[in-house]
Amino acid sequence: MTATALLPFPPDRSRGGGWFGRTRRSWADRRADREHEQECWAFAEHLRFVWRDACEGVGVSRTTDTATGPTVRTPRVGRIVVDRPTTVLVELLPGQEPQDLSRVGDRLAHSLGFETLRVVPHGGRWVRVELLDQDPLTEPFALPRITVGTCQDPVLLGRDEFGDALGHTFADAAHVALQGQNGAGKSQFAYGLLAQLAAADDVRIAGSDITGLLLGCPYDGTVHRPWQATGTADLEEHAALLERLVGVMDERLAALPDRVDKIEPSPAVPLFVVVVEEFPGLLRAAGAMPKLGRGERSVLDRIRAANLRLLSEGRKVGFRVITLAQRAEAEAMGGGYARDQYALRLSFRVPGDSLEMLHGPAVRELAERHATAEPGVAVLSAPGRDVVRVRVPYLGAYAEYCDRIAMTARKEP
């Protein structure tokens, strides 16, 4: 005999347990809903109570001297919605901006019992504060098997600290600077970026790579390989390759029609993604070469001059430079003017002064935490976007990168 046989009314499987089961579940559901509403109300009241102390603690309050003594004002809490994420509607104090809360977001979230928060303008002085109970940057995620068919399509850069995916379209006129210590994820990110671009009909992946890992062998037999120089055995080859790219750029500039100031990339006129892997190492190696005779240009000067021209003149005629360095100081990037040409900037784990060097003083509060960031976590800045921390996708072992290039990159005719 089973327990089911002891029930006076066997459950009607076809009708969800019969009227008795439905009535019992309906009563239980209503009771659970009432308890949930009470818990949400109590939690919302708790947030209202601790909000004031949290704002005072992180410095977004304002103290006014009155006849009865100092009065502390904090951003006023409106409606609270307890959900995923929990949302608090907040009225900022006069003179405050949403960035004033964002700058102390983590500290404010921790005081409220959450991991981080996002501030979204709502209207007037009101903002919507979304409280997140988990940091999306803590968990690595794999790069999907995606490629783009054209430079007009966005590639996946990663996901930000709010879990939103970030993309970048290489047709946009933006050079890319990557810096980071060894093992911080810089090369892994570049693998994923190029693996997405290699199949595009209107893209050529070109450049200089003294390591021979990012470019070179993985591209053998593809349309990209003739535009690449690798290794340190022949540094003259690197200078000649960059100068050849400058020659293509000059031809395009000269061929621009009247009343047109930029080209639209196409399979016939492809966009060149010029990758310069470990550019400071390339400059050091070229600088160590024997000096030439009077009147002869050194390989170092040729590399610097060609790189600077690609950065300063190539954006309107289909050239995008991606430069990788462990530390993006001015000299290592070919000079301060050259470093200023990079619009999209990512910094993986670096000391605080290196972070501020590339992204400016706005990242000063991130410097201490980012100095010990996990591999694959970067600080990103771009035109029209606030500085944000991101988790970049993980492609896998180096062999996976080689396999994806072999499978997806366009082959030589």
Dump pLDDT digits (tens) for 276-323: 999 999 999 998 888 877 778 899 999 999 999 999 999 899 999 999
399 appears as a binding residue in the annotation: no
Say yes or no: 185 and 323 in one domain.
Answer: yes
In a domain, 280, yes or no: yes
Angstrom CA distances, 127 to 48, 73, 91, 99, 411, stand at: 16, 17, 6, 11, 52
CA distance 216 to 234: 14
In a domain, 5, yes or no: no
182 appears as a binding residue in the annotation: yes
212 appears as a binding residue in the annotation: no
Q: How many domains does the chain have?
A: 2
183 appears as a binding residue in the annotation: yes
From the list 231, 192, 135, the residue with the least C-alpha distance to 322 is: 192
In a domain, 319, yes or no: yes
In the predicted structure, residue 20 carries a pLDDT above the cut 80: no
- On average, the pLDDT of the chain sits at 88
In the predicted structure, residue 1 carries a pLDDT above the cut 70: no
307 appears as a binding residue in the annotation: no
Dump pLDDT digits (tens) for 371-396: 899 999 999 999 888 788 999 999 98
Say yes or no: 199 and 330 in one domain.
Answer: yes
17 appears as a binding residue in the annotation: no
Say yes or no: 177 and 244 in one domain.
Answer: yes
184 appears as a binding residue in the annotation: yes
In the predicted structure, residue 137 carries a pLDDT above the cut 90: no
Predicted pLDDT of residue 19: 57
352 appears as a binding residue in the annotation: no
Q: pTM (2 decimals)? A: 0.80
Predicted pLDDT of residue 24: 60
Q: Of the spans 130-134, 344-348, 387-391, which averages the highest pLDDT? A: 344-348
2 — pLDDT class (breaks 50, 70, 90): very low
Of 132, 162, 182, which one is at a domain's C-terminal end?
A: 132
